[in-house]
Structure 1
């Protein structure tokens, strides 16, 4: 086991490097970038200003454009150069022998483009020191933004994982007891259909049925708390939070409980056929006593050991879609906004952090499996 853990740990950095390299390379082929986003915003503001002043005559409009207002003419080349330097796409180089502060306004200095390769390795060097930089558009460090949004995503992931266990364990036990019966057949068909429904479609369906007002307006349409949340009592705050989190939790749980249900069923079937269960039955113990007094304790070890892995998959795979659909201010919505705005420090910083966390939790999950069930030997499988 020690050799397996060592191999997994040694693969963490190469795996992270590969993840970051592929995603960084993809961004080089995607049209647009952070500077283009700024240009688009400035041009949008300029168009809005022209619409507001549209009643003025042509001479007045021309005078406005030729005067002090710069937005209508876009961004000047000097400002573009400063933005490229500020965002790390270029550097300021000065003539040999220059002793002052490098500044593009100085005739002795000029802009020099930084290659994508150099930018990538500089970024990875900073990330190895856990220096994730500052967001281009939010004026906050990436670490502060992640810490600020993390509680929302963690709470959503925990509630969804707990609900998945509350559904999967009783259902899996029942399927094991009724293995091969009509109940086992139709429940298997039902959970396969549930697993096949895309999370986005199910989330929108829940909103239309229970929050949009088209049918039943039982739950809020968006957000994690009401506008008057601060004025509520402690019990009122808790109820308001649960009221808002219900639909997002159900939407994520739909696709996460299927695997856990089948794992529970197979684990119980494996235990039910063992000799100690036959011995307990031969002693005259009731079926309930055999099932919950002997089988449950042993069968649930492997199921409980899968909690970290399930929580991680729910947190990372479901948060992006669900938080965006329900306007929950968590990591998923933050990542979506960063991708749309081409906020590269935020995109790559969160990607690196999540990749590292998922790899480490994957190792911890494997270790947990071997501790609760010594029959699992990853070294033999690797060999």
Structure 2
């Protein structure tokens, strides 16, 4: 276990280095940040002074070396727009994004497992065929279109749910405010969570169904049936446990992917999270905030994948963690 963790830490450092290098390299192609900082009325002399002050005239190597040295001390730069450390700005927006991802994950887990198992047990049933047909449609529809349709139906058409914002949130600690502590907060997070889950839910239903059908054809399941074990125990104890092994691996990657998908969801619903902040940073050419966002999202991916590998080893003790890290 210790050797595996050490190996993954070194791999994570390498991945984060590549992410930081790519993120820092593309910032010159995003536009001139001085255009947003000072506007058009400032003289060229003042612009050059600001460029020197911000270090924008330095070579790429010098800028990146300075950035890397500061990053090792937890300094990812200062946001041009917010006039405060970029990491602090992201951490203020992070709770809203994590709550949205948590809500979507909860929906995916609660719906995909029973629907996937049911369609595997009764593949020829009308309901199973309807679910599989709907899953194809769900995979094909972009998340932003799903979000717009939900707003049109449930907000504009029936007025059941609010169409934007977080609503009344309850302060927990620090910068963390939650939507799950009152009715108004729950009403505001329902549609964004379903919209975000819509792109992943069909994938997990089909994955669980495919794995479950394969497991049900295995010899130990046939042996369990021959022994007279109750069907529900075969399905939900013996078969489901082995079905979830590959699902956990894919699920960890997809949960990390949902952090990136929140950009579209948060934009449509005006959800004040990291994704909405990132698009605003791109429009303002706030390059320190953009680079910091890419690094934070990359860090979330690395941590998520490592945790998933550890969980995989706990669920299936026969799997060697050292082999997983190979």
Task: Give TM-score, length-normalised by structure 2.
Answer: 0.85
Q: Which moved more, 1:152-161 or 1:370-379?
A: 370-379
2:138 maps to 194
When residues 13 and 283 of structure 1 are mapped into structure 2, their CA distance, relative to the original with a 3 A threshold, is closer
**Structure 2, gaps ≥5 residues long:** 172-177
Partners of 1:237 and 1:14 in 2: how far apart? 40
- 1:176 aligns to 2:120 (yes or no): yes
Q: Answer whether contact 1:210 1:216 (CA < 8 A) is retained.
A: yes
Map 1:18-167; keep pairs closer than 5 Å.
18-30=18-30, 32-40=31-39, 43=40, 74-89=41-56, 113-167=57-111
What is the deviation of 1:345? 1.4
2:175 maps to none
Partners of 1:382 and 1:151 in 2: how far apart? 30
Q: 1:321 aligns with which of 264, 268, 276?
A: 264
Map 1:156-305; keep pairs closer than 5 Å.
156-179=100-123, 183-211=127-155, 213=156, 215-225=157-167, 238-300=182-244, 303=247
Partners of 1:285 and 1:237 in 2: how far apart? 42
Partners of 2:321 and 2:132 in 1: how far apart? 29
2:282 maps to 339
State the structure with bigger RCO (CA 8 A, min sep 6), 1 or 2. 2
SS of the counterpart of 1:328? coil
1:156-211 deviation per Cα after TM superposition (whole angstroms, max 9, x unaligned): 00010000111100111011102366654443332122111111111112122222
Q: Answer whether contact 1:306 1:369 (CA < 8 A) is retained.
A: no
What is the deviation of 1:141? 1.5
Q: Answer whether contact 2:37 2:80 (CA < 8 A) is retained.
A: no
Partners of 1:191 and 1:296 in 2: how far apart? 20
When residues 242 and 361 of structure 1 are mapped into structure 2, their CA distance, relative to the original with a 3 A threshold, is same
What is the deviation of 1:350? 2.0
Taking only aligned residues, the RMSD between alpha carbons, in angstroms, comes to 3.1
Q: Answer whether contact 1:137 1:343 (CA < 8 A) is retained.
A: yes
When residues 298 and 29 of structure 1 are mapped into structure 2, their CA distance, relative to the original with a 3 A threshold, is closer
Q: Answer whether contact 2:75 2:85 (CA < 8 A) is retained.
A: no
Q: Which moved more, 1:277-286 or 1:191-200?
A: 277-286
1:325-383 deviation per Cα after TM superposition (whole angstroms, max 9, x unaligned): 11111111111111111111111112112212311321221232233225656876887
**Structure 1, gaps ≥5 residues long:** 44-73, 90-112
Computing the radius of gyration from Cα coordinates, the structure with the larger value is: 1
Task: Give TM-score, length-normalised by structure 1.
Answer: 0.73
Partners of 2:19 and 2:105 in 1: how far apart? 26
Count matched residues.
320
1:67 maps to none
1:268-295 deviation per Cα after TM superposition (whole angstroms, max 9, x unaligned): 2343233443333223333224323543
1:28-83 deviation per Cα after TM superposition (whole angstroms, max 9, x unaligned): 233x221012343xx4xxxxxxxxxxxxxxxxxxxxxxxxxxxxxx1134432342
Q: Answer whether contact 1:219 1:244 (CA < 8 A) is retained.
A: yes
What is the deviation of 1:297? 4.5
Partners of 1:223 and 1:328 in 2: how far apart? 5
